[in-house]
Amino acid sequence: MITTLTSIVKPRNEDSFAICFAPLSIEEVYKLADDPANGAVVLMSGMVRNQTDGRSVVALEYQAYEPMALRIFYQIAEEIRQKWADVSRVVIHHRIGHLQIGEISVLVAVGCPHRSEAFAACRYAIDTLKHNAPIWKKEHWQDGSSSWVSIGACEQNC
């Protein structure tokens, strides 16, 4: 799943993409993905968990190269529409900065007439984002140490 940016993809007016320091809103993202043509809106919420590989995490820090990350988000939406032409809305919002346990780091929502396509497109969006977007995560451990997770790192079963 490697996205190449051979040309500049322009975002569609009906879609929404953001990288921000402010807390993310499930309600806002759901509304942005909603459309009268939808039979389904699938929303995925990524949250800061309290452990990684059995090791206690106290916080995460996200940084992004925003111009390129947004281009990747636009490309993801374009690829979704090539695979699932009926998708009406794509929303990808990612948070950056210092986040505490339980805070939302990413919201992805896809609106579509049918649930199977909405689920598949939403999964494609988050998996592709995790592999391709220049967004870095630093894990802060309970023992006071921290480490960066490399770009393109993805959980085993993305």
Quick: pLDDT tens for 102-132. 999 999 999 999 999 999 999 999 999 999 9
Q: Are 111 and 117 in contact (CB under 8 A)?
A: no
Cα distances from 139 to residues 67, 68, 111, 151, in angstroms, run 24, 23, 32, 13
Mean pLDDT of 61-82: 97
- pLDDT above 60: residue 85: yes
From CA 39, how far away is CA 58, in angstroms rounded?
A: 39
Cα distances from 131 to residues 57, 71, 87, 100, 121, in angstroms, run 22, 14, 22, 23, 15
Quick: pLDDT tens for 130-139. 999 999 999 9
Name the average pLDDT for the chain: 91
pLDDT tier, 79 (very low <50, low <70, confident <90, very high otherwise): very high
Q: Are 140 and 56 in contact (CB under 8 A)?
A: no
Q: Which structure tokens are listed for 98?
A: 């210092």
Cα distances from 97 to residues 6, 11, 22, 64, 137, in angstroms, run 30, 25, 9, 9, 9
pLDDT for res 7: 56
pLDDT for res 3: 47
